[in-house]
Structures are given as C-alpha cells and as structure tokens.
Amino acid sequence: MSTTFSDLFANSGAKLVYSVTLTTSGTFSKPADIEDNDDVYIYLNAGGGGGENNDNAAGRGGNGGDGAVFRCKGRDLPSSVAYLIGSGGAMGSAGGNTTFGEITVVGGKSGASDADNDGTAPPLADKWSRGTRGVGGSQNILSVVWYGAGGGASNGTPGKSMFAGDGGNGSGDNAQIPGGGGGRKQPGKRGEISIFACRG
C-alpha cells in the first residue's frame, strides 16, 4: 500500500474529528466524539500471504491482503462491534482475514498458491468492486473493496496497490504493514483497521 487513507481528506475541507488504528483483535465501542451526522470511514486491510518455502531464488512472494473502505453516517455505526485483525501468513500460508462485524476482507494467497497472481503480469491490484453491506442491523454502509496486489516470482517486480496490500517477491522480505505479502521464505504482514470520522 503506497498511499495512506488520510490522503483522501487532504483537500476535502472536512474536519477530522476522530481517528483510531486498530492492530489487535477486540471490540470497538462507538465514541462520544462521533455525532449522528458525521461521515464515518472504516478502512480494513487483511493480512498478507507468506512467501513460497523454496530455496531456489525463483521462489514466489506472497500476495497482498485485500483492502476495503466502508462509509456510513455516525447514526448508522453500531454502538459496539467485534473485530478481528488478520495475521500475516506464515511461510507458504495464506494471510488471515480481517473482519469488522459482518464485514470481511480476505487475506492474501501464499506465494506457492498459483501463478495467476504474478505481480510481473497485469496485477490484480486496484481492481475494485462497490456495494452496500449491513453491519449490526444497519443497511446504510457503502463499500469499496480493493484486491491485494500479486506477488512476483524471483526478482520480478511485485504488484503495488494504493489501498490494498502490496505483493512480495522472490528476493527477500519487502512486505510492508499493513497487509503486505512476504518475500520468498518470509511471512506476510498483519492487517489493520483504521476508523475516521469527518464533519462538515
């Protein structure tokens, strides 16, 4: 991921009234700082996949975890939501999913999973889908989901994503938090959740 979500607010004119980054699983309680008419953005990243367990330099890096932004009004944010932070995948294993209530973003595949996500090919990164999801009984949460970038083989260039996890490659541990895919014989990076509230 090469751009922080806060960059989206740089020229919006909106006032940021609340922000938090969640890095360990738990329960989120809606703070008093968030008013009913505030715009709330929930930014999720899943864990990155681990790199291939391969002593050969041609081994593949893991895929980045998926990313998503969900937007709602403060009135539609549940008072309490359980969430899970996806862990980075161990070497040869997929990354963990990140969840916020009923919302889930998917962890990156391991470097050994298949060849169609090679970061040197046209990457899956920054392809996205849009929809509406319900959380805690609310049906007014709009979503945009980005797919994690593909991992590169050998010294090939791994895929890059603006809002999802970057891919790893075969040359070493180039994964970045959150959600980066591990390099060859390296684990992926954990995911995280960031929550922002804007007013005006």
Tell me if 52 sits within 8 A of 188, measured CB to CB.
no
pLDDT at 55: 80
C-alpha pair distances (Å), 80 with each of 67, 117, 143: 22, 37, 19
Least confident of 10-19, 64-73, 87-96: 10-19
Which pair of tokens denotes residue 104? Answer: 């889930």
What number is the average pLDDT over the span 18-35? Answer: 95
pLDDT at 153: 66
76-118 confidence digits (pLDDT tens): 899 999 999 999 999 989 999 999 988 888 888 888 765 444 4
What number is the average pLDDT over the span 42-58? Answer: 84
Tell me if 98 sits within 8 A of 35, measured CB to CB.
no
Amino acid at 200: G
pTM value? 0.82
pLDDT at 197: 92
Residue that the structure tokens 């890095």 belong to:
23
